[in-house]
C-alpha cells in the first residue's frame, strides 16, 4: 500500500461546478499536510497547508480527518484556470526526509 494515495482522475467538470477529492495516508503519526498544484510541465507550487481545524482560502477549502487518515480539497465555482494536477503532501514527522508526495489528481475544467 502506498503511504499517500490519491485518485489519479482525471476529474472532468464544467466551469462553475464544485469538485472535491481526497487523499489518504497510512502513517497515523503524520504531522503536517499540504496541497500543491502542478500545471502541465511546470513545477509544483504550494496551494495551501491543511490544519487540524481545516482552512479556507477563497474558493478552496482543505480539511483534515485524522481518525480516518485522509485530507480533502474542495474547489467551489471552478474556473478554467483551476485545471491542473493537485498533489497531496504528507510530512510524517517534520523531518526533511519524511515528506511524501501523492502521485496527484488531475483536474480538467471544461467551458
Residues that bind other proteins (CB under 8 A): 4, 8, 31-32, 34, 36, 41-46, 49, 87, 89, 91, 94-97, 99-104
- What cell does 52 get? 487540524
Smallest separation, CB 87 to other proteins (Å):
7
| Number of neighbouring beta carbons within 10 Å of residue 59 | 13
| Nearest to other proteins of 41, 67 (CB atom) | 41
Measured distance CA(92)–CA(38) in Å, rounded: 22
- Under DSSP, the state recorded for 80 is G
Smallest separation, CB 104 to other proteins (Å):
7
| Nearest to other proteins of 46, 80 (CB atom) | 46
Closest CA to 88 of 75, 76, 74, 72: 72
| Nearest to other proteins of 44, 109 (CB atom) | 44
Amino acid at each position: 500500500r502506498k503511504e499517500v494515495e490519491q485518485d489519479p482522475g482525471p476529474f472532468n467538470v464544467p466551469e462553475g461546478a464544485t469538485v472535491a477529492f481526497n487523499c489518504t495516508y497510512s502513517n497515523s503519526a503524520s504531522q503536517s499536510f499540504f496541497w500543491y498544484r502542478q500545471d502541465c510541465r511546470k513545477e509544483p507550487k504550494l496551494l495551501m497547508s491543511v490544519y487540524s481545524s481545516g482552512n479556507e482560502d477563497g474558493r478552496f477549502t482543505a480539511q483534515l480527518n485524522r481518525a480516518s487518515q485522509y485530507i480533502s480539497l474542495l474547489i467551489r465555482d471552478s474556473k478554467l484556470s483551476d485545471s491542473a494536477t493537485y498533489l497531496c503532501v504528507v510530512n510524517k514527522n517534520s523531518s526533511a526526509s519524511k515528506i511524501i508526495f501523492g502521485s496527484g489528481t488531475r483536474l480538467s475544467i471544461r467551458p
